[in-house]
């Protein structure tokens, strides 16, 4: 018997499904918005890329000065208030007068929060604040899902690539995921699980990953630890792992990712690495229980309108 998702996406091929609603390109963004976005995509992605680099540099500089993170995890149970953050910094031996100096400078961060911060700067640089407000407002009211963000970028003309460095290990990875995070009582699925084999089969047969239409299911598949050159040449990307459980963004094949629940004294609240999911030290970064080994990534399609390029067309 076919699964619900198989039947659903067979019926609704040609439209986009996210957060319980269905949109065609023209019902979420106007044709004018799409056209303006595509005409200004180079500006958007260049600014977003610069934002990632600047934010990571700011993070390292701040940590080097105070031995505490400027960007604290906004889902950490104690960090919703300045009092909670102060308690952890005092417990780490940071003097009270320095804690008072630190607190007003800190900002909450998460994986999707860092991506939104830099994409927002990109849209603003291109004068597309209204389009970004539409995206950001939707995300804020529907759970800030990375899968929704990627689908909205696709509606604006970005391409979705399925990534999986070694499909032959899908079943092995699925077994390991379940050992690392066993099924909780009353649950049928754990969000941290990759569902690698099931989702791989759906991509290969139906061009569907979770609830997203995949544009390319070949270029970032079975690359082991040798990342394709086209990916390393791309100026900006937005990715998700494990059906949006983790969101990451980056530039030129480098991942710069934020984390939402790590200690305020950790330098790893923001991390920088090569996009190389199963290579030692590669990203998106793993934790003891979260091993990100497949997902999707959205890449912008930027038309080269330089005189040299136009003359060769």
- pLDDT band of residue 23 (cuts 50, 70, 90) is low
Judge whether residue 59 has pLDDT over 50.
yes
- pLDDT band of residue 10 (cuts 50, 70, 90) is very low
Give the CA angle between residues 247, 69, 265 to the nearest 5°: 105
- Establish how many alpha carbons lie within 13 A of residue 47's alpha carbon, considering only the half-sphere containing its beta carbon: 18
- pLDDT band of residue 14 (cuts 50, 70, 90) is very low
- pLDDT band of residue 73 (cuts 50, 70, 90) is confident
DSSP classification of residue 91: H
The pLDDT value given to residue 18: 52
* Domain range annotation of the chain: 31-300
Provide the pairing of β-strand 107-109 with 270-274: unpaired
Residue 186, phi-psi category: left (phi > 0), alpha (psi -120 to 50), beta (remainder): left
* SS3 of the chain: helix, strand, coil, percent, to 5: 45, 20, 35
Span 166-177, mean pLDDT?
A: 98
- Environment class of residue 279 by beta-carbon count within 10 Å: exposed (0-12), middle (13-18) or buried (19+)? middle
Judge whether residue 125 has pLDDT over 70.
yes
pTM for this entry: 0.89
Judge whether residue 312 has pLDDT over 90.
no
| Cβ–Cβ under 8 Å, residues 287 and 246 | no
The pLDDT value given to residue 26: 55
CA–CA dist 192, 246 (Å, integer) = 8
The pLDDT value given to residue 21: 53
| Cβ–Cβ under 8 Å, residues 269 and 262 | yes
* Residue of higher predicted confidence among 10 and 25: 25
CA–CA dist 155, 30 (Å, integer) = 10
Judge whether residue 33 has pLDDT over 70.
yes
pLDDT, tens digit, 9 for 90 and up, residues 188-246: 999 999 999 999 999 999 999 998 999 999 999 999 999 999 999 999 999 999 999 99
Judge whether residue 37 has pLDDT over 50.
yes
The pLDDT value given to residue 24: 54
Is the Cα torsion angle 207, 25, 284, 113 positive or negative in sign? negative
The pLDDT value given to residue 282: 97
């Amino acid at each position: 018997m076919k699964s619900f998702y198989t039947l659903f996406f067979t019926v609704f091929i040609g439209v986009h499904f996210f957060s319980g609603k269905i949109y065609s390109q023209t019902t979420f963004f106007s044709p004018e918005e799409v056209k303006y976005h595509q005409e200004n995509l180079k500006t958007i992605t260049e600014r977003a890329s610069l934002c990632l680099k600047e934010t990571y540099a700011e993070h390292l500089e701040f940590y080097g000065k105070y031995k505490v993170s400027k960007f604290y995890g906004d889902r950490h149970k104690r960090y919703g208030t300045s009092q909670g953050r102060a308690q952890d910094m005092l417990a780490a031996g940071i003097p009270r007068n320095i804690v008072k100096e630190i607190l007003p400078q800190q900002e909450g961060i998460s994986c999707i929060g860092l991506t939104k911060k830099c994409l927002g700067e990109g849209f603003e640089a291109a004068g597309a604040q209204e389009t970004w407000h539409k995206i950001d407002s939707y995300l804020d009211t529907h759970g800030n899902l990375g899968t929704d963000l990627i689908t909205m970028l696709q509606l604006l003309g970005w391409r979705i690539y399925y990534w999986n460095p070694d499909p032959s290990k899908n079943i092995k990875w699925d077994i390991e995921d379940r050992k690392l995070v066993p099924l909780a009582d009353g649950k049928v699925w754990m969000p941290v699980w990759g569902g690698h084999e099931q989702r791989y089969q759906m991509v290969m047969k139906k061009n569907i990953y979770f609830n997203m239409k995949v544009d390319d299911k070949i270029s970032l598949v079975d690359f082991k630890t040798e990342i394709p050159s086209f990916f390393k040449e791309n100026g900006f990307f937005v990715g998700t792992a494990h059906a949006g459980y983790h969101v990451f963004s980056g530039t030129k094949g480098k991942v710069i990712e934020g984390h939402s629940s790590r200690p305020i004294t950790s330098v790893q609240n923001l991390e920088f690495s090569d996009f190389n999911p199963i290579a030692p030290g590669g990203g998106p970064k793993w934790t003891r229980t979260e091993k990100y080994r497949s997902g999707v990534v959205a890449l912008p399609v930027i038309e080269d309108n330089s005189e040299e390029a136009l003359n060769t067309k």
